[in-house]
Amino acid sequence: MTIAVFLSSLIGAMALGVPIAFSLLLCGVALMWHMNMFDAQILAQNLMEGANSFPLLAVPFFMLAGEIMNAGGLSRRIVNFAMALVGHIKGGLGYVTIMAAVIMAALSGSAVADAAALASLLLPMMVAAGHDKARSAGLIASAGIIAPVIPPSIGFVIFGVAGNVSISKLFLAGIFPGLLLGVSLWVTWWWLARREVVEVPPRKSMAEIMVALRQATWALVLPLIVVFGLKFGLFTPTEAAVVAAVYALLISTLVYRELNFKSLVPLFVASAKTSAVVMFLVAAAMVSAWLITVANLPEQLIALLQPLLDSPRLLMLTIMVITMVVGTALDMTPTILLLTPVLMPVVKAAGIDPVYFGVLFIINNAIGLITPPVGTVLNAVAGVGKVSMDEVTRGVLPFMVAQFVIMFAMVAFPQLVMVPARWFY
């Protein structure tokens, strides 16, 4: 009965058009009422405690870093460097998109920001060269979702806080799976674009490549700082977010000189607004998470999935399918905050490594950003690239399938995640 109250109140509120954060609060109130323990003070206390977390400070700083990098010229120089390397080969603009997405993923951790930047920079060039507009937009959208997997990742921060899992280990474990997602896009694009007749840019000389590399060096250094800093314990993930934001600010204002104080104000305001939305969503979800624990919903789910506990791979497969279904209706952050407190006890009961589960869970949620009908990244690419939602959805399907194949390969072979992760540890 408790599960029915939880699901019916949440889904009912969302069906009525109530924003997700308020739907989560209404769900919490319904659970408290059902358990005959309603108290407005307890509700307020848990709401405040939900956002009172030091690791969650990483979220606004990573968002600020992404805003600064896109406006300060770092993203554009990364694209120019990738163009100099592979822009001349057939389908080269697609490979440029994938390379730029992987590098930018190691800078911001925001799928929407990366996809919007790539759409504004590369989509017009791809269409002008003769590439199919829908397919190009689909590639950009699917490349953008690598950002939540390769560190620094806002998704890993939220999951680590909600599931009490080491964020540093999640960051390091996400590097190789994120690169595999890029490889899957590379192979899929090669297969789809091999028959296209497109205008290929001339090959860049070695001197031009070195100029592009020199211009992008300051941007390329940041991922190395973050990864090595985490690996050798120089700073925590939260401190890494501050380092990323300050570094991007200094490079954009003092080195590239594309930002000044006047242009910084809108960036700070935009990142503050986005951070406020995310943090309120986190706070509201923590109320539901606390009530989920009080109502013993994880124990009920463990009892329900008891036959699968002896088969970790089958259990992981079931969880991934459930997450896929939820991801078609919910954005990444609410999905993480809703499912993590419910699924983590099940995962631990089955003896599954929480870091391994976290990596696959975030990959699944990241792909959910390009699954219709919600598809936040699809909407971003459609808006920035002036493409219809139907076209982007049609173009993204083969790339989305390729990324799901990689995810399920990791379910079948956990070594794809854990062996490289142990090396990075």
Give the pLDDT of residue 204: 85
| Mean pLDDT of the region 18-27 | 78
- Is the whole model's pTM more than 0.75, yes or no? yes
Q: What is the 3-state secondary structure (H, E, C) of the chain?
A: CHHHHHHHHHHHHHHCCCCHHHHHHHHHHHHHHHCCCCCHHHHHHHHHHHHCCCHHHHHHHHHHHHHHHHHCCHHHHHHHHHHHHHCCCCCHHHHHHHHHHHHHHCCCCCHHHHHHHHHHHHHHHHHHHCCCHHHHHHHHHHHHCCCCCCCCCHHHHHHHHHHCCCHHHHHHHCHHHHHHHHHHHHHHHHHHHCCCCCCCCCCCCHHHHHHHHHHHHHHHHHHHHHHHHHHCCCCCHHHHHHHHHHHHHHHHHHHCCCCCHHHHHHHHHHHHHHHHHHHHHHHHHHHHHHHHHHCCHHHHHHHHCHHHCCCHHHHHHHHHHHHHHHHCCCCHHHHHHHHHHHHHHHHHHCCCCHHHHHHHHHHHHHHHCCCCCCCHHHHHHHHHHCCCHHHHHHHHHHHHHHHHHHHHHHHHCCHHHHHHHHHHC
Give the pLDDT of residue 138: 93
Give the pLDDT of residue 280: 81
Percent of the chain with pLDDT over 70: 95
pLDDT tens-digit series, residues 55-104: 777 888 888 887 888 788 888 888 888 888 887 887 788 898 999 889 88
pLDDT at 234 over 90: no
| Mean pLDDT of the region 307-332 | 85
Give the pLDDT of residue 3: 65
- Tokens linked to 390: 């139907």
Average pLDDT, the chain: 84
Give the pLDDT of residue 258: 86
pLDDT at 256 over 90: no
pLDDT at 203 over 90: no
Q: For 138-152, 164-178, 322-336, 345-359, which range has the lowest pLDDT when averaged over its residues?
A: 322-336
Q: Cα(9)–Cα(7) distance, rounded to whole angstroms?
A: 6
pLDDT tens-digit series, residues 372-413: 776 788 888 888 888 888 889 899 999 999 999 999 999 999
Q: Cα(29)–Cα(1) distance, rounded to whole angstroms?
A: 16
pLDDT tens-digit series, residues 123-153: 888 888 888 899 999 999 999 999 899 988 8
Using alpha carbons, list the distances in angstroms from residue 41 to 52, 190, 337: 16, 58, 22
Give the pLDDT of residue 398: 94
CA angle 415, 421, 423 (to 5 degrees): 105
pLDDT tens-digit series, residues 336-352: 888 888 888 889 888 99
Give the pLDDT of residue 298: 65
Q: Cα(122)–Cα(120) distance, rounded to whole angstroms?
A: 6
| Mean pLDDT of the region 225-240 | 80
Give the pLDDT of residue 118: 85
Amino acid at 120: S
Q: Cα(34)–Cα(17) distance, rounded to whole angstroms?
A: 23
pLDDT at 364 over 90: yes
Give the pLDDT of residue 359: 96
pLDDT at 306 over 80: no
| Mean pLDDT of the region 323-338 | 82
pLDDT tens-digit series, residues 92-126: 888 989 998 898 888 777 788 788 888 888 888 88
Q: Cα(220)–Cα(37) distance, rounded to whole angstroms?
A: 53
| Mean pLDDT of the region 43-59 | 74
